[in-house]
Amino acid sequence: MAADTSALQTVVVGPDAGETVFLVGDTYTVILSGEQTGGAFTLLEALVPPDTGPPPHHHNAEDETFILLDGKVILQVGDETIHAEPGTTVFVPRGVVHSFRNVDTKLARMLFMYNPPGMEGMFTEIGHKGTRNTQAPPLTISDVEAMIAVSGKYKFTIAPPK
């Protein structure tokens, strides 16, 4: 079903704007929400410190696309290992276990898109108010516990360790 775009307005988000949270050691900014795109997609930005990234997981309700802007990241998508450099784009269909890790010595910056939208609610619900373009404090166990607690609501699953 196509998104209803009849009432959409132009949206401009400046370089320091967007709703930003710190979560699991990363900085996440909702650039465009599903509400702003008429239900078409959600666009977020992530700043990922060296040697960090989310645990393996899969989304049950949306596809995810990653666009690496700065840094070097290794994405594990199913059984495939992808060594991403700036400009690399990776599409991950719903249901496929994936994770990424920053393997650079500096912050990695990436855009990621969810289609359909909705997953952005998880970040704003459990993240801690942050500032865009600012490195988040380190990962805490309470962040991981919060992610697990809302996984059913946002239809994603943390994969068990191999």
Dist. CA 158–CA 57, nearest whole Å: 4
- pLDDT at site 37: 94
Residue 103 maps to a domain: yes
Residue 55 has pLDDT above 90, yes or no: no
Please, are residues 76 and 159 in contact by the beta-carbon 8 Å criterion? no
- pLDDT at site 15: 93
Pairing of strands 19-23, 26-32: antiparallel
- pLDDT at site 7: 78
The range of the structural domain enclosing residue 147 comes to 26-157
More confident residue, 71 or 3: 71
Residue 8: band (very low, low, confident or very high) from pLDDT cuts 50, 70, 90: confident
Residue 77 has pLDDT above 90, yes or no: yes
Mean pLDDT, all residues of the chain: 93
pTM: 0.90
Residue 104 maps to a domain: yes
Question: Residue 136: which CATH number?
Answer: 2.60.120.10
Residue 162: band (very low, low, confident or very high) from pLDDT cuts 50, 70, 90: low
Please, are residues 45 and 28 in contact by the beta-carbon 8 Å criterion? yes
Residue 3 has pLDDT above 60, yes or no: no
At 150, which helix (H) or strand (E)? helix 141-150
Residue 53 maps to a domain: yes
Residue 21 maps to a domain: no
Residue 7 maps to a domain: no
Residue 4: band (very low, low, confident or very high) from pLDDT cuts 50, 70, 90: low
Write down the residue that tokens 């078409």 correspond to: 40
Residue 84 bridge partners (DSSP): 73
**Number of domains comprising the chain:** 1
Question: Could you report the per-residue pLDDT of 128-147, keeping only the tens digit for each?
Answer: 999 999 999 988 888 889 99
Dist. CA 155–CA 139, nearest whole Å: 22
Residue 110 maps to a domain: yes
Concatenate the DSSP letters of all residues of 70-122 into one string: ES-EEEEETTEEEEE-TT-EEEE-TT--EEEEE-SSS-EEEEEEEESS-THHH
Residue 1 maps to a domain: no
Residues 149-156, mean pLDDT to the nearest whole number: 94
Residue 20 maps to a domain: no
